Amino acid sequence: MSDDLIRDILKRTRRIALVGASANPARPSHGVMRFLLSKGYEVVPVNPGLAGQTLLGQKVVARLSDIEGEVDMIDVFRASEHVPAVVDEALAHFENPGAIWMQLGVVHEGAAETARARGVDVVMDRCPAIEYPRLM
């Protein structure tokens, strides 16, 4: 995960699916979503418990397969053991999800290899709200 790769992902990304979005302002996913929106990214929050509601002005969907159109990045705020299912759903639903981004503390080498084998870039154990100010 070189700085060049992370910078490239942040530059080419326009639409992000944020898996594990929270309505609680104290949760990291809420703050990261607010940050990404403030930088001009379109963010689709994904959370089955909040599906149909609005979060930071964006309609929440239950799962990745409920998203119409493509996304450029899937930002994963789920425990590491849930990452393979997220990657499998992303690869089944999107023609080219562009990048799988696992948040701080989230690492799954097997899921990363599955994504890379399909030409998808992978970032693990990093936060775009930290990397964006550092690299952009």
CA distance 5 to 120: 12
Q: State the sign of the Cα–Cα–Cα–Cα dihedral 119, 122, 128, 133.
A: negative
* Bridge partners for 15 per DSSP: 42
Nearest to 86 by CA among 68, 10, 67, 36: 67
Give the chain's domain count: 1
pTM metric for this prediction: 0.96
Q: Please name the residue that has the structure tokens 């910078």.
A: 7
Which CATH number covers residue 124? 3.40.50.720
59-86 residue pLDDT tens: 999 999 999 999 999 999 999 999 999 9
Q: How far apart are CA 133 and CA 72, in angstroms?
A: 19
Please state whether beta strands 99-102 and 73-76 pair in parallel, antiparallel, or not at all (unpaired). Answer: parallel
The answer to whether 107 and 115 are in contact (CB under 8 A) is no
The residue range of the domain holding 63 is: 3-135
The phi and psi torsions of 125 (rounded to 5 degrees) equal 60, 40
Q: Model confidence over 5-39: pLDDT tens digits?
A: 999 999 999 999 999 999 999 999 999 999 999 99
